Structure 1
């Protein structure tokens, strides 16, 4: 019984050699040659607990993305590719379907089938290698007063320059330096803690802490907006959000260019985000007194039969109330750490490792011991009955139909439904913005790696005709599907052959260092 299982050993060997341990088996039919085979596709997991090799590759790719985009001395202009014949055909075909849909709507006919086809075409257009949408903004943006709160300091505003690069400085040695920043921002205190655990849980402000965690991403967006206004150029950044021991999310941000430390701290102090949601002060429905569903009108008050206001109607009422206050206001804490970093220094490498350290970890892995688990449970309990998003069913508790309401919405008071904080507290990354076309996307970094490997192997990097192959999922009981252990060892052998070939080619090239081969290749 103490002997290791062969399959466990196979998985361990796969992990050591960087082979996905949860491959997705897909059947591939070549429509030109007629050849049919089963191909193992890597699962692409980003969490180490699911697939360590795939998570490691994703982490290394993020590290490369951060390193290449951080300390630039030129504008990273990328020339867009010319559209392929397939992309042109998809857009033209969508135009024909749109015309048919418009004609049907004008004639008063049902357009559901056309809408379904258009939705599928939009997905296919993006999957073919095009970004954006032909639809543009489909819904009017809800605007609120942009007047700053009286309890928030004003910020200086510089004229915007069409640049993503920071300032340069000339040192005493005559050299020109272009430093960048590494900034860490935290949330305020909710009570005294020791080793991440509140000293007095009864006085710890769990409700505020949980709300701050839910809306932290919006606060980060506000900080970046203010940062760009003050800096006067299109500041680019690579950031990761991770939970502290007390489970409050905090932000690590690599910023291209530099600003004075005093200005960064001033921006953090002046940044806030107001959550303009309907009030949750009054409980309208609870226990056995719950709203009832009507197929035509939506949810009704079971006593009066009145239709509950929809999410948009509730926000319209809130907009019309000049005395209304936001449901929640989130701000950063006083602790702001700002470090200047130069390219190619040990400090830069250490910051990049720190940024990506938790990208493959889940929130549950940071819960060390029973005390931390109880601390996390109190976060959940603090917002169990409070809505966590516009679509949350708990809005029914306060007399509002959630956004996109449908039959079967259940209140947390009726069925235990813990509020999830993982969407805000799980480590995530935001990267150099590709919106202006100036920065590489993650897919483009992957393509660079692929091109490097193909060039090293002497293979042409030719585009693949996606219509040449027909793919199908392979079920676990398929007689042609080999056992997982066999497939893993086959992938290990194939990967070792590739490595041997790469190193043989590299050894023939004069002056090339073995360390130049990317680990994630």
Structure 2
């Protein structure tokens, strides 16, 4: 009997089932001592299911571990590093009321009056506390509980929508405001955490994710360590805003084929008809500062729908919330969650939002400023409105070009790399206790040298069209076979070794060996 040939689609399906990367980076490894050459697959590391389901699922599970580990801590975490990927801005800033103007390039910072808006309430300023742990409660039977919170914040209404999340009346739906709110959503989220810390007097710690609602407006889910009065959180949300002190960009000056042209001698963009040089970014801001009646170009606020829940450690509710926080991290903002084929009305809704975010400026350096008669910051030739490279303008992101996961630095005191090492430590410990000899992780190390001090291993990229490169099908099939063997070996080791010890951290000295 002739066995059926496996095509790329079949192998890809098997790879997804076995959680093997379906679009790995092929690298050629050469041992300069022996002359041996082999092809090594490096996982792509994508966090999007549409790109690589296996890597996206692995990244999501890692985030679940990070969220679960820091939510109900009973001891202060230690931080011996400064992880730029984990935002924890606990410093008092001059523009704490959302009036500052930061160009985002490390240059001079423009600060307007810090007086709060008349339509925003003042917040309490209690004495500072230097603990990140929540309050504990003792019961008469001797038990101690340290509850935490699960908070959801939404954006305001832009118009009535149906159950499908599409506008009842698309003509009256405020698409421009929805797009601006999405583009500047990270700013108002930062303001919320700053205000909450000041109103509570505590360095509040959080694990938050940014996701789209059914109407495709962003909203925030956050696991917050400790509990705070619900009335105070509502007060903080109502008093939180971000003012966008940018030049006005509500009226299009240049569009279509009539766009500003680059003048090599002037070093800037000029009017295509008169040849007059367009105002520079700094000149436009100077004019804004000089106008005593100037208003912010946009003000971002949260909506009135707020959900707050108290969560106890070790309960099914805590596990469900961790899963809910990370459920949609592998999806694009514009992906339809309930069905693979969105309706025509929903498709039109996505098109309208995508059109708005494509043409609105996302940053001071955005090429779209040329449409509004202002030269972008750090201007250069070749800028074309509508072709800004920021992913915020992409249809997949719909204005949300920033990070989807926001984690405060003292949530666990660990980087994501250290959490990954902890997961590997569990596997290594189980295999070691079962007497299974592990692979040498120092193999092919970049620090390995020959006797003359030169690197022993040389890495090079396998380029498309290389005749000596193995086929995609062959490499993925080999990776699937190896993954199946590893899983079988690990399951057998778990049965022989029994349950793992309580502390298998790879980042705490002696923890894994002590277990």
TM-score by length of 2: 0.81
Structure 1 residue runs of 5 or longer lacking an equivalent are 82-125, 127-136
TM-superposed CA distance for 1:52, in Å, is 1.0
TM-superposed CA distance for 1:410, in Å, is 2.1
Query: 1:352 aligns to what?
Result: 322
Is residue 219 from structure 1 mapped to residue 193 from structure 2 by the alignment? no
* Partner residue of 1:342 out of 301, 312, 324: 312
TM-superposed CA distance for 1:299, in Å, is 1.1
TM-superposed CA distance for 1:404, in Å, is 2.7
Query: 1:44 aligns to what?
Result: 45
TM-superposed CA distance for 1:319, in Å, is 2.5
User: Which digits, 9 at most, give the CA deviation of each residue in 1:281-323, with x for residues without a partner?
Assistant: 4544345543221224211234444332222332233223222
Query: 1:17 aligns to what?
Result: 18
Secondary structure of 1:349's counterpart equals helix
Distance change in 2, residues 1:187/1:34 (3 Å): same
Secondary structure of 1:306's counterpart equals coil
Distance change in 2, residues 1:312/1:228 (3 Å): same
Query: 2:345 aligns to what?
Result: 371
Secondary structure of 1:253's counterpart equals strand
* Partner residue of 1:322 out of 288, 292, 308: 292
Q: Say whether the 8 Å CA contact 2:26–2:39 is kept in structure 1.
A: yes
Correspondences of 1:429-508 after superposition (within 5 Å): 429-434=404-409, 439-458=413-432, 459=438, 464-466=445-447, 468-508=456-496
Is residue 411 from structure 1 mapped to residue 385 from structure 2 by the alignment? yes
User: Which digits, 9 at most, give the CA deviation of each residue in 1:355-402, with x for residues without a partner?
Assistant: 011000112322721111101122234455432332222211222111
TM-superposed CA distance for 1:513, in Å, is 6.5
Distance change in 2, residues 1:450/1:30 (3 Å): farther
Correspondences of 1:379-390 after superposition (within 5 Å): 379-382=353-356, 385-390=359-364
Structure 2 residue runs of 5 or longer lacking an equivalent are 85-104, 433-437, 448-454, 506-515
Is residue 306 from structure 1 mapped to residue 276 from structure 2 by the alignment? yes
Query: 1:512 aligns to what?
Result: 499
Correspondences of 1:175-194 after superposition (within 5 Å): 175-194=143-162
TM-superposed CA distance for 1:150, in Å, is 0.5
Q: Find the aligned partners of 2:66 and 2:366 in 1 and give their Cα distance.
A: 35
Q: Say whether the 8 Å CA contact 1:167–1:258 is kept in structure 2.
A: yes
Secondary structure of 2:351's counterpart equals helix
Greater shift in the superposed pair: 194-203 or 63-72: 194-203
Q: Find the aligned partners of 2:145 and 2:504 in 1 and give their Cα distance.
A: 29
Q: Say whether the 8 Å CA contact 1:381–1:418 is kept in structure 2.
A: no
Is residue 30 from structure 1 mapped to residue 31 from structure 2 by the alignment? yes
Q: Find the aligned partners of 1:418 and 1:424 in 2 and give their Cα distance.
A: 4
Correspondences of 1:76-87 after superposition (within 5 Å): 76-79=77-80
User: Which digits, 9 at most, give the CA deviation of each residue in 1:228-249, with x for residues without a partner?
Assistant: 1112111111111111111111
Q: Say whether the 8 Å CA contact 1:380–1:418 is kept in structure 2.
A: no
Q: Say whether the 8 Å CA contact 2:393–2:399 is kept in structure 1.
A: no
Q: Find the aligned partners of 2:239 and 2:361 in 1 and give their Cα distance.
A: 27
Q: Find the aligned partners of 1:179 and 1:379 in 2 and give their Cα distance.
A: 39
CA RMSD of aligned residues (A): 3.1
